[in-house]
Amino acid sequence: MGRGRLCPLQENAQENAQKDAQENAIHTTRRPRSRAGPAARLLAWCALVAATAAVAVLLLALGEGGLLVSGAGVLGLVVCAAGLWWFVSRRGPVRLFGALVAVAAPVGVLVFFARSGLWLIAVISTLCWAAAAACGRAALHRARPPRSQRPVRARRPERAVLIMNPRSGGGKVGRFDLVRRAERLGARVILLDPSDPVDVGELAREAVEDGADLLGVAGGDGTQALVAAVAAEHGLPFLVISAGTRNHFAMDLGLDRADPARCLDALTDGEEMRIDLGDVAGRPFVNTVSFGVYADIVQSPEYRDDKAGTALKLMPDLLAREGARRLDARVDGTLLAGQQALLVSNNPYASPDELSGGGRRTVLDSGELGVIGIRVENAARAAELAVRGSQAPGLTVTTARRVEVTAGGPQTPAEEARIPVAVDGEALWLRTPVVCSVRPGALRVLLPRDRPGVPPSASPADWRKLLALACGSAEPTASGESPDRPL
């Protein structure tokens, strides 16, 4: 029998096989080991030499006040941290005193260095430490393993449906003319009416029933998560348009946050990869779930209009008041008791800077949750945290696949029933125990091929890894370190 045209069933089978092969390529998650080159080892040696020089400067200057430089610096840091604690955890005169102490401590250290003639020693030692930190970060960045997966070229969607919130990001949808641009590229746009709240998840499901082959959102991270869950449920690609206020998810995907219209380029020239999706009590999240102090603050109606003022008003009761809510968390079987704040993220942040809004994730497919717990009960604990950083007992930074959160301490059955939770910035009350988990590779994301990428991580240098790297070890780097062309 001659070679003829395939019958429709054969064509469909062949097409499905090709599609499965492509998705398997996308879903590869094996993590290679790092391959440290000569440049990474040289930078590691430079970091170690600079750190040694910083210590040597202080030791050689002992007779001229080298010990005083170290002591004054540490004392200034301790006093400043104590002042900040009084400022955020107290009211009235004590808060004012704390603010004055927090400002006066570093100023006093600088004046002491200048008047005692120790400024030169302090400057040289500080510059050496700065050089050590910079070289260390660069060395670890170069020695990172290559990405476990690479994006693959994506087919152009034929029935893309994009949900847009015109109020998101202060009106970015209108300011960047996103509706017209998207429709010109063949997408169907569902424009939300701010005066008539709707279930965006239900809108997304209706779009899938109508034959959508791609879902996308121009809006905040909470809206992104709800629609992303529908896309993951139906195996459809998901497009993120950076039209929100802070765009944390878009930033960690390496998208252009300054010009959300560039995200639409993915509709015609895109590539696809799989990332993880977080789950908290059956609700999806793409960034973080916060418990404790922050979750209590965002429940306040005044928070949206005055974030700083609302936080300062509520924090004394949340931090220092007797009987304030505390949290217990079981992190993959390990108990964290009496936490004041707990942050669970979809993949770990490169550093604890996420507590101040400055952290970022350079990997979104590790299959793990990031966990940061804080327990700072007084000024002494705050000072210890400032000096010891992530080594302080009041700060826990770890990873897990499952986190179970309950209210800490003796509680009535009614109090145990629900606790405040902030899911991707949205204020909720959830029934305890609240279980957070991760769905590895659950979400297919469509990205424009031409995008800025994720900036290099600014996480602290790990001296143990640097020493191993300088000695020629091929130790793999942490999952929070970024690749050459992130995502």
Q: Same structural domain for residues 55 and 129?
A: yes
Residue at a domain's end among 213, 234, 268: 268
Smallest CA-to-CA distance from 355 within 408, 291, 403 is with 291
pLDDT, tens digit, for every residue of 263-290?
A: 999 999 999 999 999 999 999 999 999 9
pLDDT for the residue 16:
46
Same domain, 53 and 125: yes
* pLDDT above 50 for 418: yes
User: What's the rounded Cα separation, in Å, for the pair 275 and 444?
Assistant: 7
Q: What CATH code is carried by the domain that includes residue 380?
A: 2.60.200.40
Contacts of 258 (CB under 8 A, 6+ apart): none
- Among 435, 402, 430, which Cα is nearest to 331's? 402
Is residue 411 scored above 90 in pLDDT?
no
pTM over 0.95: no
Number of domains in the chain: 3
User: From start to end of 135-187, where are the E strands?
Assistant: 152-153, 160-164
Q: For position 189, which CATH number holds?
A: 3.40.50.10330
Asked if 358 and 396 sit in the same domain, the reply is yes
**Domain end position, chosen among 111, 142, 173:** 142
Give the mean pLDDT of the chain: 83
Q: What Rg, from alpha-carbon coordinates, does the chain have?
A: 26
Same domain membership, residue 264 and residue 232: yes
Q: Distance between CA 128 and CA 365 in Å, rounded?
A: 36
Does residue 1 fall inside a structural domain? no
307 and 412 assigned to the same domain = yes
- Residues 127, 173 share a domain: no
Task: Assess if residue 124 is contained within a domain.
Answer: yes
Average confidence (pLDDT) over 352-380: 80
pLDDT value for 147? 57
For the ranges 210-214, 379-383, 437-441, 475-479, the lowest mean pLDDT is seen at 475-479
- 337 and 316 in a common domain: yes
> Where does a domain end: 440, 455, 481?
440
- Kind plus residue range of the DSSP H or E element containing 140: helix 119-142
Outline where DSSP puts E strands in 41-176: 152-153, 160-164
CA 325 from chain center: how many Å? 25
pLDDT at 115: 80
Do 250 and 348 belong to one domain? no
Residues 306 and 422 in one domain: yes
Residue closest to 216 by CA, chosen among 315, 385, 84, 203? 203
Say yes or no: 134 and 179 in one domain: no
Residue 219 and residue 357 in one domain: no
102 and 219 assigned to the same domain = no
Lowest mean pLDDT among 36-40, 149-153, 356-360: 356-360
Helices (H), 198-323: 200-209, 221-234, 248-252, 293-298, 307-319
pLDDT at 456 over 90: no
C-alpha closest to that of 230 among 444, 429, 86 = 444
Structural domain for 320, as ranges: 288-440
- Give 298-355 pLDDT, tens digit per residue: 888 888 778 888 888 888 888 877 767 889 999 998 999 999 999 999 999 876 555 5
Q: For residue 82, which of 100, 102, 96 has the smallest C-alpha distance?
A: 102
